[in-house]
Chain A
């Protein structure tokens, strides 16, 4: 298990919240986040880290997207 840092396109809303819209994978493919299921502070037990955890549905699969001190990563 490791963490993969990814580029993210995000919406910064008026109320100060951040909403990731799509992520760019290592090989350059861009995946749109179909749905945001949950946002909370959480540790990344598999990747090693701690930050804001966005539970995203991408192509019917649930993945954890973490934002730690403005760096984004996914547990692989």
Chain B
């Protein structure tokens, strides 16, 4: 059956919310930035006047100010953004129950079953845009299409405050001439690989033999070929339907550069504790631990290794992470950011081979559960590893509760 799918994208979300609350800034170039003190001093979003000066998301603040001398920088206020995100979702809910949030400011809606009630996909898109403008004071771009990938592409085509329709009859003319990198999941390196095979537009990719692409990109090649031909059939999830968790990870950009193994150890322990606590909360154990390291030159790499037994104990995760780190980092540069991730998840009550000689395992699990209980009642800092006190500034963050916005993947 032909579906009608909308992808709504709130334009310059953070910047527009800030402009709404500060009317005096509305015509000035504005950039919403991370906290400089915590070394998150990059541009998160900018408004259109700032964009005209060439300010980009991800620019360091001084870099952005160089491009645009009159730039007004505003600190991010996630509480406010989450409120607007919730209000937006409430508006979507008037038209369908199939709402799949894609980050804080985007959502997929399947309105196939609502077009009898509210008019065509285009009408619903326009109504949603009008309500955003009138009720929230924000603008949105909406893409209307027959699958999620093209709907997403459509919402990127015309900005701000516009509706773009891509139908089965017109997608060849409208989408195929676009550069191959415009489609979801074609990043820098995939783009380079495709271009080396003279695939420059989405159309060229769609018309290639699918086996060629599979040779070049593996399973991805096939997926991307389907995307380009409009064959994506991924459903829009129902509101409230939880997606299956594939991995649990935390990362942080530290308040100062990490210069030796002791610094790294502290951070890895904080992250591992958060990862372990989150695994326990979901009743999962991980079989693989991965670390992500980024140095001061912003070069980063990821390494992963298997655990002998599935675990949700922070010491196991931290130890594996440290092993990975020791074997893979050469200390040519100081470190700016580290991430720890538990993957290969299995349910916590699954069976596994016990160690004949090591009986401390269950004890350690019980210990961590007890710590969870203490933290729940008396706060995160009520009980800590002694090592955490070595450098209070470095370890004084709580990755489990401080971060409310998680990156999302299309493949859940």
A33-55 vs B, Cβ < 8 Å mask (1 yes, 0 no):
00000001111111111100000
| A7-64 CB contacts (< 8 Å) to partner B | 40-50
Residues of chain B lying within 8 A (CB to CB) of residue A40: 134-135
Which of B22, B134, B135 sits near A48, CB closer than 8 Å?
B22
Contacts of A42 in B (CB 8 A): 134-135, 137
Asked if B136 is at the interface (CB within 8 A of a chain A CB), the reply is: yes
- A50-B20 contact in complex given A42-B135, A43-B136, A43-B137, C-beta closer than 8 Å: yes
Secondary structure of the B side of the interface? Answer: helix
Whether the Cβ atoms of B136 and A46 lie closer than 8 Å is: no
Number of interface residues of B (CB under 8 A): 12
Task: Return the CB mask of B77-103 against A: 1 if under 8 Å, else 0.
Answer: 000000110010000000000000000
| B134 smallest CB distance to A (angstroms) | 7
* Chain B residues whose CB sits within 8 angstroms of the CB of A41 once the complex forms: 87, 135-136
CB B136 to nearest CB in A, in angstroms, measures: 6
Query: Does residue B240 face the partner (Cβ distance < 8 Å to A)?
Result: no
Contact: B21 with A48, CB < 8 Å? Answer: yes
Q: How far is the CA of A1 from the CA of B136 in the complex (A)?
A: 19
| Smallest Cβ-Cβ distance to B131: which chain A residue | A41
Q: Does B23 contact A (CB under 8 A)?
A: yes
Distance in angstroms between the alpha carbons of A5 and B22 in the assembled complex: 16
Chain B nearest Cβ from A37, distance in angstroms: 16
- In the complex, the answer to whether A48 meets B136 with C-beta atoms within 8 Å is no
Contact B23 A50 (CB under 8 A): no
Contacts of B22 in A (CB 8 A): 48
B366 to chain A, nearest CB (A): 42
With both beta carbons as reference points, the residue of chain B lying nearest to A43 in the complex is identified as B137
Give the CA-CA distance A69 to B86 in the complex, in Å. Answer: 13
**Could you list 26 A-B pairs, sorted by A, with CB under 8 Å?**
A40-B134, A40-B135, A41-B87, A41-B135, A41-B136, A42-B134, A42-B135, A42-B137, A43-B135, A43-B136, A43-B137, A43-B138, A45-B20, A45-B23, A45-B137, A46-B23, A47-B23, A48-B20, A48-B21, A48-B23, A49-B20, A49-B21, A50-B84, A50-B136, A50-B137, A69-B83
Q: What are the 3 tightest A-B residue pairs by CB atom distance, in nearest-first order?
A: A43-B137, A41-B135, A48-B21
Q: Which residues of chain B have a CB within 8 Å of any CB of chain A?
A: 20-23, 83-84, 87, 134-138
Contacts A48-B20, A48-B22, A49-B21 aside, 14 further interface pairs with beta carbons under 8 A come to A40-B134, A40-B135, A41-B87, A41-B136, A42-B134, A42-B137, A43-B20, A43-B137, A45-B20, A47-B23, A48-B21, A50-B84, A50-B137, A69-B83
